[in-house]
Amino acid sequence: MTSTTARDHCHLPDESEIERCMQEAIQEARNGLEEGGVPIGSVLVREGKIIGRGHNRRIQFGDPTAHGEIDCLRAAGRQKTYKDTIMYSTLMPCAMCAGAAIQFGIPIVIAGEDRTFESSRHLMENAGIKVIDLNLDECYEMLQTFAKRSPSLWNEDIGVDS
């Protein structure tokens, strides 16, 4: 049995597709913010088509596991395989969301930014996931503004006691 890499099942999209899909994830983050939640959004894409979208709904649902990536996976529903999908998230995934990407074999994760808190980038890379950080100021500033306005909610979201 030979090992496989992300490139065996899923090809990196071109810049215009990355931008389009990340803008959809950003809109999801805005939707979460409008609902009074943490502004983190995610989309799951197969062959350029969004098959799932979601945003952080921990506050709205009172559910500590309702992070944006998890909400997105729930919306996508059961898939025969995830090996041909790409997950986009406005923030580099935390350990729980990185674990879901690893568990389901999502080969590529594209994040809007990785500056807001220490993520689980290395966990995903060590598991063979191709990780791309777009380092977008728009994503960073949205979270920074939220964290300044609602520090206790932000700290709760990332598991830090305030």
In 3-state terms, what secondary structure has residue 17?
helix
Crossing angle of helices 137-149 and 15-34, in 10° steps, is 10
- Residues 125 and 30: their CA atoms lie apart, in Å, by 28
Sign for the CA dihedral angle at 87, 88, 90, 91 comes to positive
Active site residue 69: yes
34, 69, 113, 138: the active-site residue: 69
Catalytic residues: 69
